[in-house]
Each structure stands twice: as C-alpha cells, then as structure tokens.
Amino acid sequence: MIKMLAENLIGIDTRLQINWVWLNASLQFVSWGLFSLLLAEVLRDSYHALCHQVNWLAKWHNKHHMAYRRDLSIVSLKVYQESQLYHDILESSLLLVVLVVIALIVQHKGLWLGVAYGCTFLYGASVRYFQGKIDTDYNHLPGPLETIPSIWWVNRTYHWRHHFDDVNAYYSGVFPLVDKILGTGLSLKGKTIALTGASGALGQALAAELVKNNAKVVALTTNPEKLVEQVGVKVVPWQLGNEANLRDSLEKVDILIINHGINVYASRTSEAINTSYEVNTFSALRLMDIFLTTVTGPQAKATKEIWVNTSEAEVSPALSPLYELSKRALGDIVTLKRLDGDCVIRKLILGPFKSQLNPYGVMSAQQVARAILFFARRDFRNIIVAINPLTYLLFPLKETSASLYYRVFSRTAKSEQELRKQ
C-alpha cells in the first residue's frame, strides 16, 4: 500500500514538473510576444513622429496628409493611392524589416508575434494601394465625428486631431503610448482656453503657463480689478448667477477650465451652506451645461473640452466640511455627465497649495499649474496633483466604482427621450 502511494506521488510529481516546464515556456512566449507588440507600436509611432521632424522623411509623409479633406474624405483616388505607397507601405515595410532582424538576432519565438502584427499593417496598406479600398483605413473613414477621442486606443476622432488640430501632436496610430511619453496626447497650441477663478493664485499661474504653451487665454473673473494686463490674456468679467451671459464668449472657446471656488472653513450656518453649494457646485454645473450647448458641428467633439477642479476633497478630508461636501457633489455629478460622452471632461484632483482659500498649502500654485499641463498634454482624464499618496489609490477606486454604478442605474438624455415616445 505504501509502495503504491509512493509510486502515485512520484507520478504526480513528474506530471507537475512537466506542467511547470510547459507553464514556464508559455509565460516566456507570452512575455516576449507582448514585448514584441509593444515594440512594434513604439517603433511605428516613433517613425511617424520623426516624419514630422526630419525634412527628407516629411517629403514622403506629407503625401499622406495631402490625401484628405477636413471631413476625412479623400481628395482623389490617385492621391490616396500615392499616399499609401509613399507612406503606409514604406512605413510598414521598414517596421517589418526591423522586427524581423530583431527576431532573428534574439531568437525567441515570441518575437514573431510582433512580426505577424507588423504584417497586418503592410497587408492593409497593400490592399488600399492596389485595390483602392478605403474601408480598411479605419481611422480615416469620412464623415462627422460621433465620439470623443478615446483614452485607451486611437479612434477616428483622436487621429482627426493629428490631421487638422496640430500635425505635430497625436502621433500614435493604435494605442496612444508614444503620445503619453512625448506629451503629444493633447496640443494646446492655438487653443482658446477660458478659465474661471482667474484672479486666484492657481488661476493666474495657469494663465501664465497656458500662454507659454501658445494658448489664447480668456480670463473669466468676478474680480477683474485684481488682474493685471498680460499679453495673450483677455479678461472677461462675469457675476455668479449670470453664467448664461457667458455663452457668446464660450462659443469661441476650445477648453473651459472651471476653477473658481469658495471655502467657508468651519462655518455651518444656512448662509454658509447655500454659498458653498452655489459657488462650488451649482455655478460650475451651470457653466458646464452652457458650454456643452456649444459642442456642435462635425468636429466639435475632437476639440472641445471641460476641465473641472473638484479638488482632493473628493476623497480626502480638507478640514472644511462644507468645502468637502460641495466639491464631492460637484465631482459626483461630473462623473455622471462624463457618461454621455458629449466632449472630453477632465477632473483636476488637487492637493493643498498656497492660495487665498488655503494660506497653509504645501505646494505652490506654479508647481500645481505646471503639473496640470504636464498630465493634460499626456491626455490624462483624471489629473491628480497631491502630496498624499493615498489620493493616488483612493481616487481611481472611487471614480471607477461610481462611474460603474451610475452607468448601470442611470439613463442618457437620448434614452429618456426614446422612453417618452413609447
């Protein structure tokens, strides 16, 4: 009996050893395969970026840009096919050669996944060149832009921006990894950016940094006397409760940054409650709704954005209950509004910085402003600038769970209209 048991254990151990060998080989194959796919993406998008920086490469790549009108319809079939030959086929062939050479040198089977992936680009470009089929060119299909730029992959709206927003940005072709590395996931050049709370510490710091990034700033302020004249900044006064009067100004704005707020500290009177919610929550929501009415036209979803300063108070104490409550309410409704996909809506989750609202802040407004633009240019939709490490853990958990809950238990305005018709 003992002998049989020992033989069975030896058999099991042998099978486990074989399984471990197979598992190890599989993991290595998958790891090298994923690396090769990542390498293919980085090489392809890096070459694309070089085409906009190196003159002799730009000569060939420009044929690609010449092939499309603003609605992404092709100028002519001949020009389109030339663009496939001189750019897409050339790019795919160079990519394939580099990947094959690397696979032969390293000699690991997993690297051939990248080679196979590279072949798909060459095949698609060849079909478009020899047969003139544009339906395989997914990011260049003509027509209005119906969705906002995707954060996880490059969709039509994302790539449209490369052609008609800023050719020296948005280089990525499938996954926006290279744009996040280079800081070309959002171009601020030439954008008209409206900013509330412009007379505050962060407002002034943001305005200065935006001008440095070649943006045109519209400073929306309830205290215009506190602002000094600055090149590239237009001051527009407004009053709380009269947000609708700003619509004409917002019509011409690409990005609206909602940054104004109030902190009543320890007060909990009825007046303090009303003031906190009116300034921190309802005024911000009215501005969002007004701005969203300007997101019209076939390309508006590609260029219009809202950035909302909801602050670290969404997930952390601010030693000011009404500030926390009003900012959390704003943050939750912004999460809800994001689900409609009307335009890109970014959240600014900011820790304590020195300002009129918080004279004891640890960070400076200039540091925070630079960090905001650093992450915005890398297309972060939730921009966290905080010294509390827990914020980087708690906020994503809170935002993901809340977004999922709202998605399941709420309906879009379009769905509401359809239900009423029934």
Active-site entry in 170, 323, 392, 405: 323
Write down the number of H helices and E strands in the chain.
16, 7
Backbone Cα Rg of the chain: 26
CA-wise closest residue to 334 among 285, 282, 391, 394: 285
DSSP code of residue 279? I
DSSP 91-146: HHHHHHHHHHHHHHHHT-GGGHHHHHHHHHHHHHHHHHHHH---TT-GGG--S---
313-332 in b/e burial notation, b at 16+ Cβ within 10 A?
Answer: bbbbebebbbbbbbbbbbbb
Using CA atoms, how far apart are residues 196 and 87, in angstroms rounded to an integer? 44
What six digits make up the tokens of 298?
A: 């076939």
Q: Characterize 14-47 residue by residue with b for buried, 16 or more Cβ atoms within 10 angstroms of its Cβ, and e for exposed.
A: eeeeeeeeeeeeeeebeebbebbbebbbebbbeb
Take residue 269 and report the two structure tokens written for it: 């009177």
Q: Identify the CA nearest to 347 among candidates 397, 381, 396.
A: 381
Active site residue 323: yes
CA dist., res. 39 & res. 150, Å (int): 21
Tokens coding 41: 């993406």
CA distance 395 to 386: 11
Question: Looking at this protein, which amino acid is placed at residue 6?
Answer: A
| Residues labelled catalytic | 323
